[in-house]
Amino acid sequence: MSNLDRAPVPSVCGGRGFVVAEPVRELLSPRRVRLGASTEVRRLLPNLGRRMVGAWAFVDHYGPDDIADEPGMQVPPHPHMGLQTVSWLHDGEVLHRDSTGSLRTIRPGELGLMTSGRAISHSEQSPSSHARFLHGAQLWVALPDTHRHTDPRFEHHTELPRVTAPGLSATVLLGTLDGATSPGTAYTPIVGADLALTRGADARVPLDPDFEYAVLSMSGEAHVDGVPLLPGSMLYLGCGRTELPLRAESDAGLMLLGGEPFGEELVMWWNFVGRSQEEIARAREDWMTGTRFGEVKGYDGEPLPAPELPSVPLKPRGRVR
């Protein structure tokens, strides 16, 4: 998905200064963002209280929305730079097209992983004939300096490793959880996992004390380290944990996001992750003049124009506030 905000605020993030070294329980409230006519998403990252969790730099939760009589998700071609996008669905499907020639339908339980590298453009749509409900998460992973100029590519993984315990089934999207490693290409030490809990579950998930973590609630009523978490909210957990206690009052769906704290400072604006304002301005210019980001073939409609760059120079604000 794209950041469709018409007046996106640039944010500077990354660096280790604001990583919490100890276990904490910091509840992050979502910001509601309208995407087009019918869709509203809950944005958890970047958040007023926190900008990154490991290399995870952007988290939107959307739905479940009844789109039976609506077009559903309709995001025209738009560019990305310096990041990977992770598409993850609990209901519905998303038709993905990109400038490397990919044409794929992503379904629940399948990983759509797009590595923008130096430049890619893509569109995302609910197919014309689609399921009644659309429910999912759109996440971005920042690429480290050593890999951010890599060639763009799209990966579609329909088979993902699973870790199970009584009442818990964990699907590993990215990185490694409890010895199970996703086939998705990762460029930093990271983990992303979908945690499906059944009613009454009382489980513990093993964690890496060197990673920082957060848990996003997708559905149901669950307690994460004793904190009740409602769908569309996220709990930041800090570092220094070897396991995470989970309890479910009903069937519940969570996403565990974690990774080694991202040491490099980033500049994020619209759909770009860079290292300076000049780099972001050049990317915007290249998109608007039709260079570098390629063409999304087969999409019926105009590409998304970039918003104006704010004239105020970027000021480093660190990982929080």
Binding residues for Mn ion, rule: CB under 5 A, are: 2
Residue-by-residue DSSP string for 263-289: -SEEEEETTEEESSHHHHHHHHHHHHT
With beta carbons less than 8 A apart as the criterion, state whether 38 and 67 touch.
yes
Map tokens 């999912």 to a residue.
136
- Comparing CB distances to Mn ion, the nearer of 15 and 303 is 303
Residue 151 burial (CB count, 10 A): 10
CB of 85 to Mn ion, least distance (A): 5
Which distant-in-sequence residues (6+ apart) come within 8 Å of 58 by Cβ?
3, 45, 46, 83, 138, 139, 140, 268
CB of 57 to Mn ion, least distance (A): 13
- Three-class secondary structure of residue 199 per DSSP: coil
- Three-class secondary structure of residue 201 per DSSP: coil
With beta carbons less than 8 A apart as the criterion, state whether 178 and 162 touch.
no
> Nearest residue to Mn ion, using CB?
2
- Comparing CB distances to Mn ion, the nearer of 99 and 171 is 99
- Comparing CB distances to Mn ion, the nearer of 11 and 84 is 84
CB of 16 to Mn ion, least distance (A): 28
* Distance, first Cα to last Cα, the chain: 25
- Comparing CB distances to Mn ion, the nearer of 175 and 303 is 303
- Comparing CB distances to Mn ion, the nearer of 2 and 188 is 2
- Comparing CB distances to Mn ion, the nearer of 2 and 217 is 2
CB of 149 to Mn ion, least distance (A): 19
CB of 272 to Mn ion, least distance (A): 11
- Comparing CB distances to Mn ion, the nearer of 8 and 238 is 8
* 175 vs 70: CA distance, rounded Å: 36
With beta carbons less than 8 A apart as the criterion, state whether 255 and 266 touch.
no
With beta carbons less than 8 A apart as the criterion, state whether 163 and 170 touch.
yes
CB of 120 to Mn ion, least distance (A): 9
* 207 vs 185: CA distance, rounded Å: 20
* 299 vs 139: CA distance, rounded Å: 23
CB of 23 to Mn ion, least distance (A): 33
Nearest Cα residue to 84 out of 63, 62, 55, 107? 55
Name the token pair of 217.
């609630």
- Comparing CB distances to Mn ion, the nearer of 77 and 161 is 77
CB of 80 to Mn ion, least distance (A): 6
Strand partners, 247: 202, 223
